[in-house]
Amino acid sequence: MTILDLEKKERAERKLAEIATAMLDGSLPYSEGAGLIVSASLDADLDRDRDPDILPFIAITSEVDRFPAPHTRHLWNREALAKMQPEIDQMEAWVKEFAEPFARNLLTRFAGVKRPPWSEF
């Protein structure tokens, strides 16, 4: 692994901790954070097919893909979104309850990842 690969991996690991923190503190919906976790896990070089803390987020992305993403809901028809809102609320509650332990695990695993000294330049 080259220094650039290692830096990319460490940056992705820090990103996993940041995403997990945002989900846990409520500033990022779990439904949206799940996709970010899955993406960052690729750059972190994690075995997504076997990692017990990543697999649940893959499942979540599959379950929530029929709902409008939080950052695109303002583009939706208000009436359609209002009809769907009870289902969205129920989904968000389920996702939070299901994913919270895995977000905590990711935070525990990657919160201590330090920025390499050469990345400051």
User: What pLDDT, in 10s, does the model give residues 71-103?
Assistant: 888 999 999 999 999 999 999 999 999 999 999
pLDDT of amino acid 87: 95
Is residue 118 domain-resident? no
1: Cα within 13 Å, side-chain hemisphere: 10
Rounded CA gap, 103 and 50, in Å?
A: 16
Rounded CA gap, 28 and 53, in Å?
A: 18
Is residue 119 domain-resident? no
Is residue 33 domain-resident? yes
Count of structural domains within the chain: 1
Rounded CA gap, 55 and 65, in Å?
A: 16
Q: How far is CA 110 from CA 14, 74, 115, in A?
A: 6, 33, 12
pLDDT of amino acid 121: 40
Flag residues of the chain having pLDDT under 70: 113-121
Is residue 115 domain-resident? no
Q: Which domain holds residue 25?
A: 3-110
pLDDT of amino acid 112: 78
The candidate with the shortest Cα–Cα distance to 31, out of 80, 100, 91, 86, is: 91
Is residue 121 domain-resident? no
Is residue 54 domain-resident? yes
pLDDT of amino acid 73: 87
